[in-house]
Amino acid sequence: MFFSNFGLLFENKNNMDDKQKDAYSSKSLFKLLAAYRKSVLIILIAAALLAVLFSSPLFITPLYKSTAILYPTSSNSISKILISTTYQSNKDILEFGESEQTEQMLQVLNSNRIRDKVIERYHLMEHYGIKPDSRYPYTKLNKLYDSRIRFRRTEYNAVKIIVMDSDPALAAQIANDIAELYDSTMNAMQKEVAVKAFQLVEAEYNSLCSEMAALEDSLNTLRALGVFDYESQVEMLSQQLAVELGKGNKQGVKNIQDYLDVLAQYGGAYYAISEKLDHDRLQLSLVKTKYEEAKVDATEDVPHKFLVTSAFQAEHKTYPIRWIIVTITVLATFVLLLLVLALMERYGGFFREEAAGAEEKTQET
């Protein structure tokens, strides 16, 4: 019990000593600041002036920001929404796209197709001051492009195009142009597939049309021989044959029998061709629907975005923010000065005592 109380007393004493040391250190630090206030003030003012100087256009190129906001459409194929009777979907062509379409839009906007067109159209290598014969020019160009032209998804599933440039008019122009390039790029990518699909469907459609024309020619040849409707003709001639037999009309019986022989010879072919033609007509109806859809997809350009906000020319620069740079510089300089003064307070006396002791020893000797 005694040792426990003694330990608590010792611990409380240590805590009081630490607090006294902290208070003493703080007071000493304030005394040092007061003693060197002129020097500290001069250094802080100099740091602020240097921050103003080095954040000026002489050292940092000011950048202006322009933004455009757009939504993707809900469907990439207008033919399936407007023309197709077999495609069942609850999507509306005027409906904004959802999360999946937004992710697809971001992938396309970040693609080389759009990047290369923007770089070439606005001569960005020259505009960014990159020499083609320098080391790794395209690596530098792509890094600058990624840092100054960015795309991000908003909380409402829209896509924001952000362009930073030293020329405010150019920044707005690039942002709006990228929004337009999205449509042309999507149409170009889809046409690469749609044109080939249309060619396949067109070949199938033309083949069916040719086959049906040949079948029609065959039926016309059979009709010229008197074969029009095999089943009904056989039924009608059989009844007439019975009548003629009842009358004993040999010539009539012979004529009907000759006609029945023709039907017997060509009737099977007529029936088969008719069945094939009916099947092809049904098939042609389906293929024609696909043909019309594929033709629309292959030949028509449709918008793939809703432009919510167009980019406009910024009136003031976005980067750098000079007051932030100056504030951070002054605060960092002040903290560094406090650290130097604390070190002076802690080790300055020690060095003075060492120097005084060495001088005393020298005098005694």
Q: How many CA atoms lie within 13 A of 98 on its CB side?
A: 3
Task: Write down the pLDDT at residue 288.
Answer: 85
Inter-residue contact 261 to 242 (CB < 8 Å): no
Domain map (residue ranges) of the chain? 38-60+322-339, 64-197+302-309, 200-299
pLDDT (mean) for 308-327 = 84
Cβ atoms within 10 Å of 263's Cβ, excluding its own: 21
For strand 149-153 and strand 64-72, is the pairing parallel, antiparallel, or unpaired? unpaired
pLDDT digits (tens, 9 = 90+) for 253-289: 666 666 666 666 666 677 787 788 888 888 888 888 8
For 86, phi and psi rounded to 5 degrees? -100, -20
In angstroms, the CA 176 to CA 161 distance is 9
Written out in words, the top-level CATH class of the domain with range 64-197+302-309 is alpha beta
Q: Residue 63 gets which letter from DSSP? A: B
Task: Determine the 3-state secondary structure of 70 from DSSP.
Answer: strand
Inter-residue contact 78 to 343 (CB < 8 Å): no
Nearest to 85 by CA among 283, 281, 289: 289
- Report CA-CA distances (Å) from 171 to 129, 163, 276: 16, 6, 64
Residues of the chain with pLDDT > 70, as a percent, come to: 68
In angstroms, the CA 164 to CA 318 distance is 8
pLDDT digits (tens, 9 = 90+) for 213-251: 888 888 777 777 766 666 666 666 666 656 666 666 667
**Residues 6+ away with beta carbon under 8 Å from 67:** 160, 161, 162, 163, 175, 309, 311
Checking if the pLDDT of 104 tops 70, the result is yes
Question: If residue 306 lies in a helix (H) or strand (E), which one and from where to where?
Answer: strand 305-309
Residue with tokens 């940092």: 60
pLDDT (mean) for 19-47 = 70
Nearest to 63 by CA among 134, 142, 167, 143: 167
pLDDT digits (tens, 9 = 90+) for 154-202: 988 899 999 999 899 999 999 999 999 999 998 888 888 888 888 898 8
pLDDT digits (tens, 9 = 90+) for 85-98: 555 555 556 677 78
